[in-house]
């Protein structure tokens, strides 16, 4: 068996997402809030998926949410995560509305469990994770 190379498959950053990734590197989770319908969205998009308006302002998210679903990775296909298995990836409904995905960094699992967003770093790239409320 050969060793898997380490290395994160870097997220694709474009004009819409570069500021989001930059803020995440500073520990801030951002949302876009539509100028017309007021709904929050994430990931960043050039227009509102609900009403089609291109106007939006950037607002910080509370970071609080509830677990919607999860999967446990037992064999990672991402070289940067080989050796970390098993690990759990959550689908979290933020209190503001958007559903985001990130690794469970601390705590236990249950549907509807309250979690907080936390940043972690892999190969110099800041990623989004979650901790169960009341855990580390």
Query: Interface with Zn ion by CB under 5 A: which residues?
Result: 34, 36-37, 48, 50-51, 53
Q: Minimum CB separation from Zn ion for residue 96, in Å?
A: 14
Q: Minimum CB separation from Zn ion for residue 51, in Å?
A: 3
- C-alpha to C-alpha distance for 101 and 93, rounded to whole angstroms: 9
Nearer to Zn ion, 51 or 78 (CB): 51
Tokens of residue 69, six digits: 């679903």
Nearer to Zn ion, 36 or 133 (CB): 36
Nearer to Zn ion, 57 or 75 (CB): 57
Judging by beta carbons within 10 Å of its beta carbon (0-12, 13-18, 19+), is residue 90 exposed, middle or buried? buried
Nearer to Zn ion, 49 or 86 (CB): 49
Q: Minimum CB separation from Zn ion for residue 54, in Å?
A: 10
Instruction: Answer yes or no: are the C-beta atoms of 126 and 11 closer than 8 Å.
Output: no
Q: State the DSSP string of 55-120.
A: -EEEEE---EEEEEEEEEESS-SSGGGTTS-SEEEEEEEETTS-EEEEEEEES---TT-EEEEEEE
Q: Minimum CB separation from Zn ion for residue 74, in Å?
A: 39
């Amino acid at each position: 068996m050969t060793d898997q190379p380490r290395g994160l498959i870097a997220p694709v950053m474009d004009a819409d997402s570069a500021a989001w990734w930059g803020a995440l590197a500073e520990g801030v989770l951002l949302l876009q809030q539509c100028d017309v319908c007021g709904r929050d969205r994430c990931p960043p998009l050039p227009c509102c998926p609900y009403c089609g308006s291109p106007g939006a302002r950037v607002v910080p998210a509370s970071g609080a949410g509830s677990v919607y679903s999860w999967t446990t990775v037992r064999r990672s296909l991402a070289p940067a995560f080989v050796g970390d298995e098993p690990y759990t990836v959550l689908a979290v409904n933020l209190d503001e509305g958007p559903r985001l995905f990130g690794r469970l960094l601390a705590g236990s699992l249950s549907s509807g469990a309250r979690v907080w967003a936390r940043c972690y770093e892999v190969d110099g790239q800041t990623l989004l994770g979650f901790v169960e409320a009341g855990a580390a």
